[in-house]
Amino acid sequence: MFDEKDLILEAKHVTRRFPAAKGKVLTANNDVNLKFYKGKTLGLVGESGCGKSTFMRFLVSLDKPSEGEILYKGEDITKLKGEKLRQHRQNIQMVFQDPAQSFNPKMKIRDVICEPLLNFKRIKPSEKDKVARELLEMVELPGELADRYMHNMSGGQRQRVAIARALALEPEMIVMDEATSALDVSVQKTIIELITKLQREKNITIGFICHDLGLIQSFAHQVAVMYLGNIVEVMPGEDIGENCKHPYSKALLASVFDIKMDFTKKIESIDSEIPSPLDVPPGCPFCDRCDQCMEICKQERPILKEIGPGHEVACHLYAGKEA
Amino acid sequence: MAMLEVNNITISYQNRPTVTDFSMTLEKGQICSLVGESGSGKTTVIRAIFGLLAGGGKVTEGDIIFEGESLLEYSKEKWRKLRGSDISMIFQDSGAMMNPTRRVGDAYTEYIRTHEKNIAKGDARTKAIDMLERMRLPSGDNVMRSYPFQLSGGMRQRVGIAMGMTYQPKLLLADEPTSALDVTTQAQIVRQMMELRENYGTAIIVVTHNLGVAAYMSDHIIVMRNGKIEDQGDRDYMLYHSENEYTHKLLDAVPSIGGTRYV
Ligand SMILES: Nc1ncnc2c1ncn2[C@@H]1O[C@H](COP(=O)(O)OP(=O)(O)O)[C@@H](O)[C@H]1O
Ligand code: SF4
Ligand SMILES: [Mg+2]
C-alpha cells in the first residue's frame, strides 16, 4: 500500500496519562501506533475529547508522551532538547482551527508570515517584503495583503495566511487541527483544493484532525479512527465509506447527514454517552456501547490486526493475521 | 391562516438594512430550515421573530404575525409570557448561555418558577427531571446536581432543548443547534427535535449550515444570500431540481461520503 522507504514519521506504543482528581489517572492516548508517509495525508477522526489533539501535539513537540517513541526519520524526537529541538521544529509545523487567536493581533500579515523565517535566520529583515509577497501568492492571495492585519481578513483568508506561515520554513510535514471546521463549506472546499495542490507540488506529509468523515475521505490517503484514546481502525482513505469494518467506525458513518443519503431511512445514532476517559472498560474500549459485544470483548482488549492492504482493525470480530 | 407569517420584512442594524424583503409562512408541525453562508442573515431573521435582535437591530419594514397577532406590537409583558411557553429558542451552545456558577437544577427550577408563579419548588424540580429524562439524559437527577462545565457539549445542548421544550411551545427556533457537536450527538439531537414535532406538533425553524441536516429534517428549505432569499423549496426541489446557480455552488461544496476525491 505505502512504501516503507517513504516512512517519514512513526509513533510507537505512544501512551499519555494525565493525573486527575482523587488520585485517578486519565489515559488520553493508549498504545498508539501510526505511520506517516512522505507526501501523504493521514486523517485522524473521532469524537471530541477522544485524544486526537493530544496525539498531534507530540508530533509538533508541544507535549511528550508518558511512554513510547515518536521516530522522525528514525530519530526519537521525544528525546530532543535545547538547540537540537529548536532546529528540529523547522521540520514539522502546525496550523490551528482559529488563526486569529493564535497570532498577535498587532502584527501585520507580513510579520506573521515571516516571523519563523527570521527566528531561524533564514532571511534578512530587508527581504521580508519580497518573501511575504511570494508566500501570499503561493496560497493564492494578493501580495498587497501583506500590509493588513489578521482581523481585517475573512476566515478563509486567515486560514490561507496560517498555511503560508506554516509552509514558510519548507517543513517536511504539517499538522492541521480542525483547520477548516469553522469555515463555510464553499470556503472549506477552496482550502482543501489549495492544500492538496501544495501537497502535490511540495511532497508534504500532512496529519489532519477532523470530525467530518465526508471531508476526510475527500483527500486523506490513510484514515485512522480513534476512540477513547485507542486507535480502533486504520484504513486507506477511499475505504471509509464502503469498507470500514470496526463497529465504532460504522456507527460514526451511520450518523452522518449527507445530501446523498437515503432520506427514507431513519438516521442511526449511538444513544449512550461516551464513557469518561477515567473509566475506560478493561476489555474493548467500545464494549459497553457496541451492539455486537461478545464475552471476550469485556475481558481482552483487541489489538490492531491487518485484514487487508493498509487496513487494520482492533476488534474481536475480525481475527485476521497478526499485523 | 398560517401559524406564523413573516411578511416582507426588512431588518436593520443602526439603520443599515441587513435583511431585506424576507417572507415565509409556517404551519403547525412544519419544519423549515434556513441555510446559507455566514453573514447571510439567518440568525438575524430568527432573532427578529423571537423579538431579541442584538446590537440595536430593528424590523423597519413588514410584519411578523403569530397566530393572527403582530409580534412587533407585543408589549414587554406579553413577550415575557410568550417566550418559553409559546415560542422557544435554542442556541448554538446552550452551555454558554448557562450561568457557570449555578447548578443546572437551580437554574432550571428557577426558569420553571418564572413561568408558573404558584408551583412549589419540589414540583418544579420533579418537572425538570422529567423533561431531562425525556430528552434521554441518562440520569436527570445527576444532571440537576451538576454544574454546566461538568456536562459534555451534547448533554448541555440537551439541557437547553429540554428547557426550551418544557412548555411544549408551538414554535421552536433553533440557531445552529448541532454545529458544535460531534456527528453522533448531532444525530441524537436531530432525532429528538423531530420527535417533538411528532409528539407535540411543534413547528420548527432551524438555522444550519449543514445541508445534509437541512435536507433530512425539513419540509421546506430557504437559501439565504446577502440578506435576501436566494432560493427555496422542498428537499426534492433543492437537491435535484433547482436551477439556481448559487444553490448548485453550495451543494457542490458539501463533502460527501463516496463523493469527489482530490487525491
Ligand atoms: N449585533 C450586530 N450589530 C451589527 N451588525 C450585525 C450584528 N449581528 C449581525 N450583524 C450583521 O448582520 C449580517 C448577518 O449576520 P447574521 O444574521 O449573524 O448571519 P448568519 O446567521 O447567517 O451568520 C452580517 O453582516 C453581520 O455582520
Ligand atoms: S471487540 Fe467486541 S465490543 Fe469491541 S468493537 Fe469488536 S465486537 Fe464490539
Ligand atoms: Mg449565525
Q: Read off the pLDDT of residues A143-175 as tens digits, 9 standing for 90 and up.
A: 999 999 988 888 899 999 999 999 999 999 999
B161 assigned to some structural domain:
yes
Per the model's pLDDT, the better-predicted residue between A241 and A97 turns out to be A241
Closest C-alpha to B149, from B186, B94, B199: B94
Q: What is the ipTM for the molecules in this complex? A: 0.82
Pocket flag, ligand 2, residue A287 (CB < 6 Å):
yes
Confidence of residue A275 (pLDDT cuts 50, 70, 90): confident
Question: Looking at chain B, which residue has its C-alpha nearest residue A215?
Answer: B255
CB atoms near residue A197 (< 10 Å): 12
Is beta strand B87-90 parallel, antiparallel or unpaired with respect to B69-70?
A: unpaired
B 159-198 residues with CB below 8 A of A?
182-188, 190-191
Whether B133 and B149 have beta carbons less than 8 Å apart is answered as: no
Of B10, B11, B13, which is best to mutate to test ligand 1, by the most ligand atoms within 8 angstroms of its C-beta?
A: B13
Confidence of residue A320 (pLDDT cuts 50, 70, 90): low
Q: What is the pLDDT of residue B96?
A: 72
Confidence of residue B189 (pLDDT cuts 50, 70, 90): confident
Q: What's the structural domain count of chain B?
A: 1
Across the range A187-212, mean pLDDT stands at 94
Whether A174 and A36 have beta carbons less than 8 Å apart is answered as: no
SS3 of A175-235: the string is EEECCCCCCCHHHHHHHHHHHHHHHHHHCCEEEEECCCHHHHHHHCCEEEEEECCEEEEEE
pLDDT at A201 over 50: yes
Q: Which residues line ligand 1 (CB under 6 A)?
A: B 13, 18, 36, 38-44, 54-55
Ligand number, closest to the Cα atom of B18: 1
Q: Please report which helix (H) or strand (E) contains residue A19, including its range.
A: strand A7-19
Residue A292 sits at φ, ψ, to 5 deg, of -115, 15
Per the model's pLDDT, the better-predicted residue between B61 and A182 turns out to be B61
CATH 3.40.50.300 range(s) for chain A read 4-91+171-318
B157 assigned to some structural domain:
yes
Q: Does domain A4-91+171-318 have CATH number 3.40.50.2300?
A: no
pLDDT at B154 over 80: no
Q: Three-class SS of residue B242?
A: coil
Say if B54 is an interface residue toward chain A (CB within 8 Å). no
pLDDT at A260 over 70: yes
- Residues lining ion ligand 3 (Cβ < 5 A) are B 43
Task: Look up residue A282 and give its DSSP letter.
Answer: S
Residue A141 to residues A146, A152, A218, Cα–Cα distance (Å): 10, 14, 24
Which residues in chain A touch residue B185, judged by CB atoms under 8 angstroms apart?
47, 269
Residue numbers of the domain that contains B158: 94-168
Q: What count of residues does chain B have?
A: 263
Confidence of residue A321 (pLDDT cuts 50, 70, 90): very low
B154 assigned to some structural domain:
yes
| For chain A, percent of residues with pLDDT exceeding 90 | 74
Distance from the Cα of A185 to chain B's closest Cα (Å) equals 6
Across the range B28-39, mean pLDDT stands at 95
B39 assigned to some structural domain:
no
B120 assigned to some structural domain:
yes
The model's pTM? 0.87
Q: What is the pLDDT of residue A315?
A: 97
The verdict on a CB contact (< 8 Å) between A271 and B235 is no
pLDDT at A178 over 60: yes
- Which residues touch A150 (CB under 8 Å, ≥6 apart)? A99, A100, A103, A105, A107, A109, A112, A158, A161
Q: What is the pLDDT of residue A323?
A: 40
Say if B254 is an interface residue toward chain A (CB within 8 Å). yes
Per the model's pLDDT, the better-predicted residue between B189 and A125 turns out to be A125
